[in-house]
Amino acid sequence: MSCDVLVIGGGPAGLSAAINVRARGKTVLVVSNPLEENPLWKSERVDNYLGLSDVSGAELLKAFQAHAEAAGVEFLTGKALNTAMAGDRWYVSVGSDVQTAGALVLAAGVSRGRKFPGEEAFLGRGVSYCATCDGMLYRGRSVAVLGYTDTARQEAEFLEEIGCRVTYFHRPRACQITGGAAVETITCDGRTEAVEGVFILRPTMAPTDLFPGLAVEGGYVTVDRRMATNLPGLFAAGDCTGGPLQVSKAAGEGLIAGQSAAKWIDAHGKKEQ
């Protein structure tokens, strides 16, 4: 799919950005995990959002999404796995598909958890972040799935359906991946398994993994007052830019990022046909 602006993240920042892109007559696609996997969904009570006291996080998210849908925002459930820019177009891999856009808004929240020992070293040599993308490479083999989302078990079931022998680790805290030319073993929370593939299914990727060369400080994306990053056509908003990690701040930054992305499209051409 080709659009003017692609938004990574379906929380307050991402949906605010998307609504403001639509308000300026541009097409927009929001790529996100299921709404129920957003950390805000679990908040029983939000008291600091102006004009809406004593409301649950789930109620807020439902209202935000309904607003976005009414505005004509398009949605795609999935996780952005990698990105590249060619000419004046961004290309974003979502699962096994590629989406293109003239500008991007990163609003995927905070990546929680550091890389495990061996994770980066074996990336592409047994470590993957997408079971539906790379699963066929391990058909008939033993693999481990490290699940951190509600949909992770579905990806594990997919691997089983195509013939993989799956060991599932539910939200492991301490893991180490070892091997030679490729992955050979994984140890999670004291349990060791011989595997040829490891699928690490976190809710979101670290910004610098998704955007090589992206400027960050203290783990947060560096932006200016337009919410522009150091990469052309890439804007960021919400928790990924730093604190305070609150809904009001995220929605406000999303507004600015959406407006800036729409202006970028005006200055650099319309969407690819």
Domain segments of the chain: what residues?
A: 2-112+205-268, 127-201
pLDDT, tens digit, for every residue of 59-108? 999 999 999 999 999 999 999 999 999 999 999 999 889 999 999 999 99
Amino acid at 266: D
Q: What is the pLDDT of residue 96?
A: 84
- Which segments of 94-246 does DSSP mark as H helices, in order? 131-134, 152-161, 207-210
Classified by CATH at the fold level, domain 2-112+205-268 comes out as FAD/NAD(P)-binding domain (3.50.50)
Q: What is the pLDDT of residue 61?
A: 96
What the block records as the tokens of 127 is 């470590």
Asked whether the domain spanning 127-201 has the same topology as the one spanning 2-112+205-268, the reply is: yes
Strand order in the sheet with 165-170: 127-128, 197-201, 142-147, 165-170
Q: Quick one: pLDDT band at residue 273, thresholds 50, 70, 90?
A: very low
How is residue 28 annotated by DSSP?
A: E
- CATH top-level class for 127-201? alpha beta
Q: What is the pLDDT of residue 161?
A: 96
